[in-house]
Each structure stands twice: as C-alpha cells, then as structure tokens.
Structure 1
Amino acid sequence: MPWIDACATEDIDAEDLIRFDHGGATYAIYHGVDSKFYATAGKCTHEDVHLSGGLVMDYVVECPKHNGQFDYRTGEAKRLPACVNLKTFPVKVEGDRVWIEV
C-alpha cells in the first residue's frame, strides 16, 4: 500500500480534523489530544456525510448530520444512528508532514 503525503502537522489544530481527498476517496485526518495523528474514511457510514464538518471531542468525532459518533482511533461506531464502523488507515509523521497509508 502506498504512503500519501496528506498535510502538514500544523494544518490541524489539536482536537480537530481536516478533510483530505485523494484518488477519488475522502479521508479525515485527526490531531488527537495525545498529540498523535489518526486517519479514517472521510464520510459517515450512516448517510455518506463528510465528517470534516463534525465535532471532535477527546477521541470521538460526531457526524454533523445525525450526530452519530465514532472513535477515530479504532473506527468503532459509538452512537446511533451510526452502526457500521469507519475504516481506519495507518499514519506516520515525518518531519512536519502527516502521511497516511491507503
């Protein structure tokens, strides 16, 4: 699987996320409260809404449409109506760049 340069570390505030589009797919890149970076599929599994407009609290992202929640570290669906887990992707930081393995 190729590693893709997604963004600069400074592009994402702590406890926030950004949208990253690549190769026809949308990803969400998170800057966790633990100062680590994480990546998931960029759309909610419930109704295909971009998670980049959602709220991040601790290790949870909340979908902006129906308030389904996911643990962005594992992709686990945490609150209905979301019941299908998000796909997660490996992340590495090299210098000031965040890379995801897709």
Structure 2
Amino acid sequence: MTKQLACMVDDLGPEEAMLVELDGVDGAPVPVALVRDADGDFHALSDVCSHGAVSLSDGEVEGCLVECWLHGSQFDVRTGKPVQLPATQPVPVYPVTVEGDRVLVDVDEPLAVAS
C-alpha cells in the first residue's frame, strides 16, 4: 500500500468534491474524486462515472452521495455503489487516511464493494 497526499484537510469543506490525480502502480495517473461528506469525513472514489464516463468530482455532494452532473446517477461515496439510475455498476473506492492536516489516499488496491 502506498499512501499519497491528495490534499490538505482545509482544502475541502463539507459536501464538496475535488479532482485529484494520483500515481497508479504502473505510473499512469489515476483520476480520483475526493469527497468530504456532510459529517466532514473524507472519501475517495474513481472520478469516472460508470454510466457516462464523465467526472464525478464536478457533481453535487449531498450527505454521503455524489451525483453525476450528466445523467443524474448518484453514488454512495462510502461504497461506490450506485443508488440512482441510470448507473448500475459501482465505481472503485480507495482507502483514505487523515494524518494531521494531510489527506492521504491509496489507489494501489481499491476496497472491495460489498453486495
């Protein structure tokens, strides 16, 4: 596991999202939607919507959901599962660690999506 600096805690307020590009195991950039939910917890998921292949970080965050701006699919930021059509496939979710004022993300191995 390789934790990478994604942002500083103060870079995102509650119910905000931002795009960060981190280095994948093969050196290629991995687009990650870094989201802070309504409770102030940080989550990292693939920035690419599984339905429309557009940036999730450009969508609205409400509670623990991020909405794709193109077709309105909503994803639970904790699990990556779609909770609103038209998306039916989950997006990868990555481990997040907060160390002091630094938000770290590990894109080497996405978390398993529970059924």
Give the TM-score category using the shorter length: over 0.9
- Structure with more of its chain in strand, by fraction: 1
Q: CA RMSD in A?
A: 0.9
Instruction: Could you tell me which runs of 5 or more consecutive residues in structure 1 were left unpaired when the two chains were aligned.
Output: none
Equivalent residue in structure 1 for 2:96, among 84, 91, 94:
91
What is the identity percentage for the equivalent residue pairs of Structure 1 and Structure 2? Answer: 37
Instruction: Find runs of 4+ consecutive structure 1 residues off by over 4 angstroms.
Output: none
Q: TM-score w.r.t. structure 1 length?
A: 0.95
Partner of 2:18, secondary structure, is: strand
Contact 2:67 2:75 in 1 (8 A): yes
1:100 aligns with 2:105: yes
Query: 1 CA distance for matches of 2:43 and 2:19?
Result: 12
Q: Which residue in the other structure is 1:4 paired with? A: 4
Instruction: Could you tell me which runs of 5 or more consecutive residues in structure 2 were left unpaired when the two chains were aligned.
Output: 24-28, 108-115
Query: 2 CA distance for matches of 1:42 and 1:90?
Result: 14
Alpha-carbon offset, residue 97 of structure 1? 0.7
